[in-house]
Amino acid sequence: TTRSPLLAVDDLHVAYGKVEALHGVSLRIDAGRIVSVIGPNGAGKTTLLSALMGLLPARGEVHFRGEAQARIAVEQRVGQGLCLVPESRELWSEMSVEDNLRLGAFHRSRARAAELRADLDEVYALFPRLRERLRQAAGTLSGGERQMLALGRALMGRPQLLMLDEPSLGLAPKIVREIFHIIATLRSRGVSILLVEQNARAALQVSDYGYVLETGRVVLEGDSRVLANDPRIVESYLGLA
Ligand code: ATP
Residues enclosing ligand 1, CB less than 6 A?
A: 16, 21, 39, 41-47, 198
Q: What is the pLDDT of residues 148-205, one digit of tens each?
A: 999 999 999 899 999 999 999 888 888 899 899 999 998 888 899 999 998 999 999 9
Whole-number pLDDT of residue 114: 86
Q: Which is it for strands 209-214 and 217-223: parallel, antiparallel or unpaired?
A: antiparallel
Whether 110 has a pLDDT exceeding 90, the answer reads no
> Ligand 1 centroid vs 188 CA: distance in angstroms?
32
Q: Which is it for strands 59-64 and 7-16: parallel, antiparallel or unpaired?
A: antiparallel
Q: Which helix (H) or strand (E) holds 209?
A: strand 209-214
Phi first, then psi, for residue 199 (nearest 5°) are -80, 85
Closest CA to 8 of 70, 55, 56: 70
Cα-based angle 85, 91, 93 (whole degrees, multiple of 5) = 165
Whole-number pLDDT of residue 2: 60
Question: Alpha-carbon distance 24 to 12, whole Å?
Answer: 4
Question: Alpha-carbon distance 216 to 23, whole Å?
Answer: 5
Closest Cα to atom 21, ligand 1: which residue?
A: 21
Whether 90 has a pLDDT exceeding 50, the answer reads yes
Q: Where are the alpha helices (DSSP H) in the chain?
A: 45-53, 74-79, 97-103, 113-126, 128-132, 143-156, 173-188, 200-206, 224-229, 231-233
How sure is the predictor about 104, in pLDDT bands with cuts at 50, 70 and 90? confident
> Ligand 1 centroid vs 80 CA: distance in angstroms?
27
> Ligand 1 centroid vs 129 CA: distance in angstroms?
33
Using CA atoms, how far residue 63 sits from 47, 68, 81, 108, in Å, is 17, 4, 13, 22
Q: What is the pLDDT of residues 45-89, one digit of tens each?
A: 999 999 999 999 999 999 999 999 988 999 899 889 999 998 877
